[in-house]
Structure 1
Amino acid sequence: MLLSPEQFLGFLAAAMLITASPGPDNLMVLGTGISRGRRQGMVFGLGCALGCLSHTLLAALGISALIAASAPAFMALKICGGLYLVWLGIQALRSRGNARVDGRQAPAESLRRLFCKGLLANVINPKVVLFFLAFLPQFVVVARGGVGWQTAQLGLLFTVQAALLFGLLGYFSGAVGQWLNRWPCAGLWLDRIAGTIFIALGLRLIVSR
């Protein structure tokens, strides 16, 4: 069973806004593109995005197992995940938006090494694991069945849009980096938008039954 149009479009919109907001991953992609070149930035960003696949697998297996074992356990996961999203939103709202990209020249590295660095940086990041466990259930409709398959589709969709956005960031890294450094308020407003989305999704996750 494929995602419904409402699930697909709602999740894609939220995922793109969250991915575009200033954070460690996209700032590293920008920094890599500026200091090493646009192709290197795109390859590093692709590694970061594909690292989401491991978190997708864990989330799909974990959420499915929870539902099969205990409905109250799944509800507890949703509530904890909702609280985590609200906390992320508050942190984003409190951010001063001082996102700057260091454009200093960096030592040359192979594309393969940069790809592996981006992949590893995402795979071993425990915050990304928590984010997936908190974010994906928001868009899972248990009544439709196939919860694991729904979760996998959502994770794949997140990975694809992240790969595209990170690729664009890497390609236009010079221009985007200069724009962020010139207009730091842009990062502030992106944080405000992302923070509002996090809090709204978190509260919805907590109150939904």
Structure 2
Amino acid sequence: MTFSMSLETFLAFVVAMSLLSLTPGPGFLAVVARSLGGGLMSGFATILGLILGDILFLILAIVGLSALAAAMGEFFLVVKILGAGYLIWLGIMTWRARISPPPAGVAMHKADFHRSFALGFVVTLGNPKTILFYSALVPTFIDMAALTLGDVALLSLVVALVSLVVLGAYAFLATRAGRSIKSPRAFRWLNRATGGLLVGAGVAVATR
């Protein structure tokens, strides 16, 4: 497997990707909300969905399909609206629910994993910041036409690792905060906080 990127270019992408992950946005809100309400595995399932969306946009930019992605603006607009609506609906349902975080050590149901994964993926598809990052910013310092298969694999690995480390830390902290809550009244406020984060993520997706 061959590589064409210079070390400087590689490090520039790592820094740019780190800044993208550190910047609060719909993805951050979704990860924190799912971690608060469903535990660490729900948070990580959401992160995996976000990563899949990131890698999809990265590959579109690499193979020169940015113009196609731009031409599919109406499709992404529909995804954006549906994703925002789903986030807001989920937030309202969570706000009204009377649930507590699952106890540590309990396996997550497949449906919960799939729901959290899909949530992360849809949030990425509907986030203009992510689209602009891969279609406009990254090509300014990476020659997409010169990338080899090894480069693509390396960049995808960076996307996955940076997202797992940065967003994983948020997920871990949010889960710890959720586990520390014991009283029924506190659980109600936890649900409201989680629901508010999800609604906020939906509004962020809809208005960007």
The TM tier, using the shorter chain, reads 0.5 to 0.7
* 1:19-41 deviations in Å (ceiling 9; x for gaps): 222x3x65442xxxxxxxxxxxx
Per the alignment, residue 95 of structure 1 pairs with: 93
Per the alignment, residue 139 of structure 2 pairs with: 146
Query: Where do residues 193-208 of structure 1 align in structure 2 (5 Å cutoff)?
Result: 193-204=197-208
Query: Where do residues 32-181 of structure 1 align in structure 2 (5 Å cutoff)?
Result: 44=41, 48=45, 51-52=48-49, 53-62=51-60, 66-69=65-68, 71-73=70-72, 75-95=73-93, 97=95, 98=97, 100-101=99-100, 121=113, 125-135=117-127, 137-139=128-130, 140-141=132-133, 142-146=135-139, 157-169=162-174, 174-176=179-181, 178=182
Q: Distance in 1 between matches of 2:195 and 2:176?
A: 22
Q: Distance in 1 between matches of 2:68 and 2:88?
A: 33
Q: Note if contact 1:16-1:161 (Cα within 8 Å) is conserved in structure 2.
A: no
* 1:155-174 deviations in Å (ceiling 9; x for gaps): 65543333113333555664
Taking a change above 3 Å as real, the CA distance of residues 104 and 51 of structure 1, as seen in their structure-2 partners, is closer
CA RMSD of aligned residues (A): 4.5
Which of 167, 187, 191 matches 1:187? 191
Per the alignment, residue 9 of structure 2 pairs with: none
**Paired-residue identity, %:** 9
Taking a change above 3 Å as real, the CA distance of residues 105 and 50 of structure 1, as seen in their structure-2 partners, is closer
Taking a change above 3 Å as real, the CA distance of residues 186 and 63 of structure 1, as seen in their structure-2 partners, is farther
The two structures have a TM-score, normalised by structure 2, of: 0.56
Greater shift in the superposed pair: 91-100 or 151-160 = 151-160
The answer as to 2:31 corresponding to 1:19 is yes
CA shift, 1:72, in A, is 1.3
The two structures have a TM-score, normalised by structure 1, of: 0.56
CA shift, 1:56, in A, is 3.4
